[in-house]
């Protein structure tokens, strides 16, 4: 079997490899992907450092052309790359193709941003002096990504890093190297100079750690768990390095008595269970007022009955498998915790067997949960949702905000007054009205507050805040 190698200083290298396994069919090896060492990571950082002076001064048209070419190739290959994504991560084929299209759109967006780079000219408070405010690239950016969006998250970090003139060392999650390898290959062939983008696949504890420990990495952008995020923060402070963290969520969706029941059920089913609940923006807490509670539970469980859990590549599958055995154990452990805490298992909770051996779990809904239970406070990252009954809007809002996280927050209501009040008062980076908490646009800011995120927002033009540093120049006329 071919070994997909690491790209270091423009050369494909690496002979040690790890198997990438399909969670929908654990007999299938998706491919063999290089297992990089700390030495490989140091070499990649050195290559990125050497490539930085020239790339940071490269013309904006060159950057535009390369990013545009990459976006076009990803779009042209959306079905093939989507199938690869579904095979390595387990989201359904339509979800995977949708994510691939989004990756392409992100490259298109930043291809445009490269042409829109600008600064400001401002008069000085002193006579005969001009002031210019410009943005410089940071230098070498370390990119560390999780397994749940194997192509979109790498795209939304690599595209702005390159657009603003940085060079990159990229370490994808060990579970999902295939899409990362594919987009690095596409960018390499699109004409990036040697060393501008380096790929080091391998273990977080080895490759990721070597990035954290390097004084030559000027910025680290990380998406993943809270625990690893804290390590990135501590190491970055030690090196006086800029860092950006996107971590977990325990996103609430409030359903008020006046909600359109169909809209509320669609939003809850989508954001709680699609992508197997493995989205940082998933609604894992449904907060429902008394008047609609019983109707909503009946309609949601009826909807869950119709959802097909099966092989991600099979037509008609709504929910693919859990990503791996470790995550499956986390999910089933929390289902047991929910039972012991006294929540009522209203739907699901069981493992399922399918034609192909995989990590299949029923969508699981706990009702009669409280916001104090561990299943309502800790991120599970699976298709397991707590439903909490509340008296009225005021209690719903207080419950929604009573969480260590603050990524996305939703409300289903036909009341303009409550929708407006909720948008103003939800303690979250993103607020959704009559929409799922998951599913966001690619051209606007993404990120959260409290324990969910740290540092500037990602995506859209706000991405410049992280990938550049502001310079103020004064000139005597």
Q: Is 147 in the site for ligand NDP (CB under 6 A)?
A: yes
Question: If you compute the radius of gyration of the chain from its CA atoms, what whole number of angstroms results?
Answer: 23
Give me the DSSP letters along 210-279.
Answer: HHHH-TT--EEEEES-HHHHHHHHHHHHHTT-EEEEE----EEEEE-TTS-HHHHHHHHHHHHHGGGG--
Q: Is 331 in the site for ligand NDP (CB under 6 A)?
A: no
CB of 235 to ligand NDP, least distance (A): 8
CB contact set of 240 (below 8 Å; sequence gap of 6+): none
CB of 326 to ligand NDP, least distance (A): 9
Q: Considering only residues 149-188, where is the footprint of ligand NDP by CB under 6 A? A: 171, 173-175
CB of 154 to ligand NDP, least distance (A): 10
Nearer to ligand NDP by Cβ, of 141 and 346: the residue is: 141
Torsion angle (degrees, nearest 10) of CA 91, 92, 98, 100: 60
CB of 146 to ligand NDP, least distance (A): 3
SS3 at position 477: coil
CB of 331 to ligand NDP, least distance (A): 12
Q: Where are the alpha helices (DSSP H) in 342-415?
A: 374-377, 393-401
**Site map (CB under 6 A) of ligand NDP, residues 212-251, x = contact:** x----------xxx--x--x--------------xxx---
User: Among residues 208, 252, 436, 451, which is the contact residue for ligand NDP, using CB under 6 A?
Assistant: 208
Q: Is 387 in the site for ligand NDP (CB under 6 A)?
A: no
DSSP letter, residue 439: -
User: Among residues 209, 401, 415, 469, which is the contact residue for ligand NDP, using CB under 6 A?
Assistant: 209
**Site map (CB under 6 A) of ligand NDP, residues 360-379, x = contact:** -------------------x
Nearer to ligand NDP by Cβ, of 223 and 276: the residue is: 223
| Token pair listed for 15 | 């002979």
Report how far residue 269's alpha carbon sits from residue 472's, in angstroms, rounded to the nearest whole number: 49
> CB-hemisphere CA count at 13 Å for 428?
30
CB of 427 to ligand NDP, least distance (A): 15
Torsion angle (degrees, nearest 10) of CA 281, 468, 462, 58: -110
Nearer to ligand NDP by Cβ, of 212 and 312: the residue is: 212
CB of 22 to ligand NDP, least distance (A): 17
Q: Considering only residues 393-412, where is the footprint of ligand NDP by CB under 6 A? A: 407
User: Among residues 80, 133, 205, 473, which is the contact residue for ligand NDP, using CB under 6 A?
Assistant: 205
Nearer to ligand NDP by Cβ, of 250 and 303: the residue is: 250
Helix (H) or strand (E) holding 331: helix 325-341
Nearer to ligand NDP by Cβ, of 296 and 381: the residue is: 381
Catalytic residue among 113, 174, 246, 379: 246
Report how far residue 450's alpha carbon sits from residue 229's, in angstroms, rounded to the nearest whole number: 13
Q: Is 203 in the site for ligand NDP (CB under 6 A)?
A: yes
SS (H, E, C) 29-51: EEEEEECCCHHHHHHHHHHHHHH
Can you say whether the dihedral through the CA atoms of 127, 133, 134, 137 is positive or negative?
positive
Q: How many residues bind ligand NDP (CB under 6 A)?
A: 28
Which region, judged by CB under 6 A, interacts with ligand NDP, from 69-77, 161-169, 199-207, 290-298?
199-207
Helix (H) or strand (E) holding 339: helix 325-341
Contact 446, 237 (CB under 8 A): no
User: Among residues 14, 139, 146, 165, which is the contact residue for ligand NDP, using CB under 6 A?
Assistant: 146
CB contact set of 7 (below 8 Å; sequence gap of 6+): 184, 185, 188, 197, 198, 199
Helix (H) or strand (E) holding 115: helix 93-115
SS3 at position 72: helix
| Token pair listed for 343 | 């929540």
Q: Considering only residues 36-95, where is the footprint of ligand NDP by CB under 6 A? A: none
Catalytic residue among 89, 280, 458, 465: 280
Q: Is 135 in the site for ligand NDP (CB under 6 A)?
A: no
Active site residue 378: no
CB of 329 to ligand NDP, least distance (A): 13
Helix (H) or strand (E) holding 16: none
CB of 253 to ligand NDP, least distance (A): 17
Which region, judged by CB under 6 A, interacts with ligand NDP, from 204-212, 301-309, 410-418, 460-468?
204-212
Active site residue 246: yes
**Site map (CB under 6 A) of ligand NDP, residues 267-296, x = contact:** -------------x----------------
| Token pair listed for 252 | 């609430």
SS3 at position 11: strand
**Site map (CB under 6 A) of ligand NDP, residues 441-460, x = contact:** -----------x--------
Contact 272, 286 (CB under 8 A): yes
Residues that bind ligand NDP (CB under 6 A): 144-148, 171, 173-175, 203-205, 208-209, 212, 223-225, 228, 231, 246-248, 280, 379, 381, 407, 452
Catalytically annotated residues: 246, 280
């Amino acid at each position: 079997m071919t070994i997909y190698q690491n790209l270091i200083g423009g050369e494909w290298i690496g002979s040690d490899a790890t198997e990438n396994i399909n969670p929908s069919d654990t007999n299938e090896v998706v491919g063999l992907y290089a297992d990089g060492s700390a030495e490989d990571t140091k070499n990649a950082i050195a290559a990125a450092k050497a490539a930085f002076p020239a790339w940071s001064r490269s013309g904006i048209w060159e950057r535009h052309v390369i990013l545009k070419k990459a976006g076009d190739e990803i779009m042209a290959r959306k079905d093939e790359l989507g199938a690869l994504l579904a095979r390595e991560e387990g989201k359904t084929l339509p979800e995977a193709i949708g994510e691939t299209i989004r990756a392409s759109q992100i490259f298109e967006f930043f291809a445009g941003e490269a042409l829109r780079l600008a600064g400001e000219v401002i008069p000085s408070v002193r006579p005969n002096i001009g002031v210019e405010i410009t943005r410089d690239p940071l230098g070498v950016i370390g990119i560390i990504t999780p397994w749940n969006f194997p192509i979109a998250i790498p795209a939304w970090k690599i595209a702005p890093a390159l657009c603003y003139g940085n060079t990159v060392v990229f370490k994808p999650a060990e579970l999902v190297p295939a899409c990362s390898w594919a987009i690095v290959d596409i960018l390499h062939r699109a004409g990036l100079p040697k060393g501008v983008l380096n790929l080091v696949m391998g273990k977080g504890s080895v490759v990721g750690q070597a990035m954290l420990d390097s004084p030559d990495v000027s910025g680290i952008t990380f998406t993943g768990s809270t625990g690893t995020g804290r390590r990135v923060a501590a190491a970055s402070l030690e090196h006086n390095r800029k860092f950006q963290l996107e971590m977990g969520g325990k996103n609430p969706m409030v359903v008020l008595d006046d909600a359109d029941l169909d809209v509320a059920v669609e939003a809850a089913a989508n954001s709680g269970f699609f992508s197997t609940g493995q989205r940082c923006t998933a609604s894992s807490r449904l907060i429902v007022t008394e008047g609609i509670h019983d109707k909503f539970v009946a309609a949601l469980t009826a909807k869950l009955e119709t959802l097909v859990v099966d092989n991600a590549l099979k037509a008609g599958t709504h929910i693919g498998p859990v990503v791996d055995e470790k995550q499956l154990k986390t999910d089933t452990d929390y289902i047991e915790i929910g039972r012991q805490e006294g929540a009522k298992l209203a739907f699901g909770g069981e493992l399922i067997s399918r034609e192909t051996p995989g990590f299949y779990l029923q969508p699981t809904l706990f009702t009669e949960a409280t916001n104090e239970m561990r299943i309502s406070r800790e991120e599970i990252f699976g298709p397991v949702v707590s439903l909490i009954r509340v008296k009225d809007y005021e209690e719903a809002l207080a419950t929604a905000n009573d969480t260590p996280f603050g990524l996305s927050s939703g409300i289903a209501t036909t009341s303009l007054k409550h929708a407006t009040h909720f948008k103003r008062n939800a303690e979250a980076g993103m607020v959704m009205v009559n929409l799922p908490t998951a599913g966001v646009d690619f051209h606007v800011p993404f990120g959260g507050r409290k324990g969910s995120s740290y540092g500037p927002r990602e995506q859209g033009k706000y991405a410049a805040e992280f990938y550049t540093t502001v310079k103020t120049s004064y000139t005597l006329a």
